Amino acid sequence: MVKYLLKKSYRLKDLKEIKFNDLWGDHGVFTTMWIYGAPPKILFFKDHINNLVKSTKSYSIVKPTIKSDILRLIKDNVNLTKKYNHLLRIALNKNTLSISLRKRIKPKLNFNLKLVNLKRQKPEFKNLKYKQILKHLSKMDNSSSDIGLCSNNKIFETGTSNLIFIKDGSVYSPKSKFYKGITYKFFKSKVKKVINKDIFVKSLKEFDEIILIGSGKGVASVKTVDQIKWKRKSLKFYNILFKHYNLAINNCPKYK
């Protein structure tokens, strides 16, 4: 069960606080950001907020002040003197804006990926249709495992993160039908060339590394995929990405 440091909901039209609702399963969108340190920093903050506001338009969540409302509620709920290592989640539907903080779990190096036949609805958006995914994740140790979402014998992403695949020094990413997260876009800007192609489950044994990237996991190397007897052959590219990620962490401005 998730333990929250903070969980609040507000009526969108006037920002009056109401009973907390995580909004999972609703018609709406969300973003998850890593908040860390004291005074706190929020990694890729502007990118997350701008992308969330852009997504609200696609889900007919219309309010002229929606960006300033989100910023105000974050400011009201973030303690500038507290040391954080948490995931800050903002979720919205047409009527409600919810904000929550939960502890961030650092991924381990003995990470296992479990393949499941499951695909997100409208995967190009960070939408709230996550209940089936959450059912799987609630039964797992999220520090050492995640689910790989597969459909039509292809793998697209995990329950929490994007995926990239390394073979003979080349970087591969699924071709389409997955959400391109903020952390994914950051790493893509650091890699000279990413080859977009359909990643078939039966081809996974060909890859030297499978890497998760996202706000919650940061950058995590998969050690095993037990169902297909895949084992990590290298940490070379993971170490390169980890250096880029640490630079972003260290250069991130303090939240004001």
Q: Report the C-alpha gap between 67 and 17 in whole angstroms.
A: 18
pLDDT in tens, 90-120: 999 999 999 999 999 999 999 999 999 998 9
pLDDT of residue 211: 98
Domain residue limits, the chain: 4-103, 111-248
pLDDT in tens, 132-141: 999 999 999 9
Q: Report the C-alpha gap between 201 and 212 in whole angstroms.
A: 16
Q: 4-103, what's its fold?
A: D-amino Acid Aminotransferase; Chain A, domain 1 (3.30.470)
Q: Phi and psi (nearest 5°) for 100?
A: -150, 160
What tokens does 18 get?
């109401």
pLDDT of residue 256: 78
Residue pair 23/93 in contact (Cβ under 8 Å)? The answer is yes
Domain 111-248, classified CATH 1.20.200.10, yes or no: no
pLDDT in tens, 114-167: 999 998 989 999 999 999 999 999 999 999 999 999 999 999 999 999 999 999
Q: Which of 114, 132, 142, 125 is nearest to 227 (CA)?
A: 114
For the segment 58-66, the average pLDDT, to the nearest whole number, is 94
